[in-house]
Structure 1
């Protein structure tokens, strides 16, 4: 039976879905077969009681919830498609009626994409961004390459700033070791500011084999409350002193470590890459400026569910980044002196802005009839495969329809913003 739109108030839509009696009975049977093993009925072995007997003992509606879970993935998407509504939230569902013929009447309430207009989006005036690459930036890239080829050499000289001191240490507060204050074989770059202020300075001048005390006071704003502002003593043993040995930067270095035959060729390649990167950054900044400029004149009543969904994605990204460093969100929140809810709320304005900009780009793509060709999608898949050193066919086999749709949406958005930048007036 066809769904029926009941009302639309702002971004909220309420509609009715009728689940056919025969269809629901099939779902009841599936629910029974799925859950019958958990019912104990006297006179029957566990899992062997007939459906009617279980219903007599537990009530006619015992399988309703499970049956709804089975039938909804079929009837709900079909209803949404039939009504042509662009849903952006999980549905709130209620059973309105169970008819005499056994059919089920459901009421669904959802948020949908907001309706709005975008005008005067072509020829937007923005500031032209140009970035120049200095000789210093090229030299810094060369220094980084040299650093990668450096090696650590053990020396018998006293510790100097810039040396690596391999130490064992134990931190004592009022003579008692505290959590996180003990380590063995720790490589400390002296002068890096890694440790508590005053610690590294007291290592300078010491030689391998020495054992000594380091007296420091934790900062008043130190995240661990029991240590904040407290004087402590570290019992330290210096095991080894290492210095960084850097290769000489010349033609031989270029030949030995890169595909170039001279230092000049290497420098030119570095500058070319830096210029390309700077141009791409400038282009991206101007793209953002175009969207921001258009967004200034567009009013959108954004459903809260869309903002919350965007916040969920942002928090997931933070959690993923933290996991790479062996952290979790709870620990990060504790050390930053915030609750997880405060971290979330601090990003709400940014989330709302991202949702608004995405909606605007989607609307303009629709107005400009921007489409994604099979060739463009194929090229994107090939780039993805190269990035992860995989075969394109394996990539295709591993991603589903939703992922492909997401890739297509991203390409469409990129094409739309490129179009807007092409038509923008650069001041």
Structure 2
């Protein structure tokens, strides 16, 4: 198969031996999952005592570098779980022992690798006021807890958690096996990718890194400076992964063509409906935000899924 982005001589993709799909779930895993649900249902209660690790302190804080208040270091009525390690190391521990109404200076040092370069490695002071100290109370694991999730009793809820974990493990195992099958097909195929095709995947990877950095309040320029590398060096690092992704894409596109896999507009609409249900959105509203490029992305994703499923169905379990 020859495409503007690649040329490929497809290797054998049917009858490949694969590992079996296993999904064993232990009682400890079930109880751990239930514990997570129990934690999410916990309620906060104000307490008239000094804060302990595990409590939540509702605080105002303002950060100072020397005598200057720095940007992004201020908040009011912030609920901070003590011991969660969500703040700078040493911050939360200094609130242990404080009570509602207390005012305290928290002295900490930003990590050397902190994304905001003007604060990296700098000692700062957070002036804090404690409004409340709260403790978390967990609901009891009984029939009433099961009814919160729509089950007749706790036993039915527990069985549902078990079944959901089995399904998750089966999906994860299937995905792992499919990836292994795809790697074998890539290795058995002759693939030549265009530079433009590989570069497109590199641009996608760069966009993801840029978005992740932005969520941390940092920029690509700061990231490159921290790692002491250039944009060209970062792109060179990403190239092997981009080439691997490109080869997998070429293999799946070739299989889809050879097998006559066609994704109809109805298939795309149905997948958009599935996404709307998943994200609890109105279908018409979601569909209305999707331009032709977005629909083409859904179409490509469905084509990949069908090609992978075909390879899996044609494989032989060892």
What residue number does 1:201 align with? 93
> Aligned pair count?
315
CA drift of 1:415 comes to: 2.1
CA drift of 1:241 comes to: 0.7
CA drift of 1:414 comes to: 2.0
CA drift of 1:322 comes to: 6.5
Question: What is the TM-score of this pair, normalised by structure 2?
Answer: 0.83
Which structure 1 segments of 5+ residues have no match? 1-84, 87-111
CA drift of 1:274 comes to: 1.4
Q: How does 1:22-421 map to 2 (within 5 A)?
A: 86=3, 112-255=4-147, 257-318=148-209, 325=215, 329-330=219-220, 333=223, 337=227, 341=231, 344-372=235-263, 376=267, 379-387=270-278, 389-391=281-283, 406-421=297-312
- CA distances 1:352-407 after superposition (whole Å, capped 9, x unpaired): 21111111112122333334467755644543454454457x87777666655554
Which structure 2 segments of 5+ residues have no match? none
What residue number does 1:12 align with? none
Alpha-carbon distance in 2 for matches of 1:404, 1:183 = 41
- CA distances 1:10-61 after superposition (whole Å, capped 9, x unpaired): xxxxxxxxxxxxxxxxxxxxxxxxxxxxxxxxxxxxxxxxxxxxxxxxxxxx
Question: What is the TM-score of this pair, normalised by structure 1?
Answer: 0.64
Which of the pair has the greater relative contact order for Cα pairs under 8 Å at 6+ separation?
Answer: 2
CA contact (8 A) 1:329 1:340 kept: no
- Name whichever of 186-195 and 287-296 sits farther off: 186-195
- Per the alignment, in what secondary structure is the counterpart of residue 288 of structure 1? helix
Alpha-carbon distance in 1 for matches of 2:137, 2:66 = 41
CA drift of 1:290 comes to: 0.6
CA contact (8 A) 1:224 1:335 kept: no
Alpha-carbon distance in 2 for matches of 1:370, 1:226 = 54
